[in-house]
Amino acid sequence: MTDATSISSSEATRPRTRPTLPPPLRDQRLDGLRGLLQVFICWSHVEAAWAAFLIHKQLGFSDSSELFVFLSGFMLASVFERKCRNDGFRAAWGDLAARVRGLYVRHLVMVLAFLALVEAILMVAPTWAYLHPHPYAPMLADAGGMALAALLLLYQPPFLDVLPLFILLMLGLPAVMLLPLSWGWWSLAPSALIYLAVQVTGWSPMTVPDGAPWTFNPLAWQFAFCLGAYLGRRKILGIDPLAKLSWLIWPAAALVALGIPVRLSWVFHDWLGTPTLLVGLWDWMDKGNLSPLLLAHALSVALVAARLIPRGAAIFRTRWMQPLVWCGQRSLDVFIAGIFVSMLCSAALYLTDGAVIVQLLILPTTIVLLALWARLMGAR
């Protein structure tokens, strides 16, 4: 009797180990799609590049930014949830904080490095300044004030305006993850209310020195991020909140299909003309505040792609797709590198008057450079 009592008491005092979540199998569909989005973003930043006509924006309402933010929320939430389940909330927050610190430092380095790149281009092609107002004129005029504004994420030079958005979104992720799973879709209510308030009022935080709204209003774009986080958190736990919403594929496919002729009528309006009815759609495409049409189209593209491309599809294991998969696995690092690559490509086109050979070389060169950078960062 004494032995039984001692055994039961020892079992009662033994620390219970929480069930751990094994690392999920890498979904190369996500990596491949995110890598493709990074290439599209790079091409879209190259001025007067033919490659810009190949991005999926030319076949729909939304572009790569909406999908990138949504998928980033999906990936970061799944990583946070697994870390939280295995090591506790404090460890998950510490891991995320390290990521935020790294991104913040890279943002500051980027501001200075991009300034150096612009100055170098102007030394080689001084007439470029007549076509483009100097993007760093405020910093050159008030270095101290703009440096402080950059520290506060309020000074956002061209092409660097998405990094402050990501820093804020990542900082807000723990608050989203604290909401109980049992709330279901209702856990998105606070995010949705903020998003709707922005759509009604149009309010946005301002940048310095000109007081312009943020290029990516964080109060609006957080909704796309939170939608991704909601799905990513449940995906890692084996929950499919869309299982009972299979009918969504039909309106999603219809919206994707509708976007193709509408966008083509805008791209080739000189030849095709734009119907009067479609001209009014421009009022529904506020990118800064992430209008509902852009958000719905981006989510529709993601849903259709997920249904059409099976998990583990062989295409992502081919040598031709591997560079895109690598880019997707290091998407933020590739995005940063893509800013420099796109600026160099713009300078090359300017210096060669848009030579055909340069236009053609931009397509493979950007992919190779971004893929090599992704491999280099992944090998660290």
Residue 319 confidence (pLDDT): 87
More confident residue, 282 or 245: 245
Of 48-57, 59-68, 147-156, which range is least confident?
Answer: 48-57
Whether 135 has a pLDDT exceeding 70, the answer reads no
Report which listed range, 120-124, 190-194, 306-310, is most confident.
190-194
Cα torsion through 143, 147, 148, 151, rounded to 10: 170
Assign residue 353 a region (left: φ > 0; alpha: ψ between -120 and 50; beta: otherwise).
left
pLDDT mean over 27-34: 85
SS (H, E, C) 301-316: HHHHHHHHCCCCCHHH
Of 10-24, 106-120, 306-320, which range is least confident?
Answer: 10-24
Q: What is each CA distance from 202 to 136, 164, 205, 287, in whole angstroms?
A: 27, 20, 10, 12
Measured between its terminal Cα atoms, the distance across the chain in Å is 59
Task: For residue range 201-228, list pLDDT tens digits in order.
Answer: 999 999 988 888 999 999 999 999 999 9
Q: What percent of the chain has pLDDT over 70?
A: 87
Residue 160 confidence (pLDDT): 84
Residue 91 confidence (pLDDT): 94
For 117, residues 6+ apart whose C-beta sits below 8 A from its C-beta are: 340, 343, 344
Whether 378 has a pLDDT exceeding 50, the answer reads yes
From 285, 290, 335, select the one nearest 72 (Cα to Cα): 335
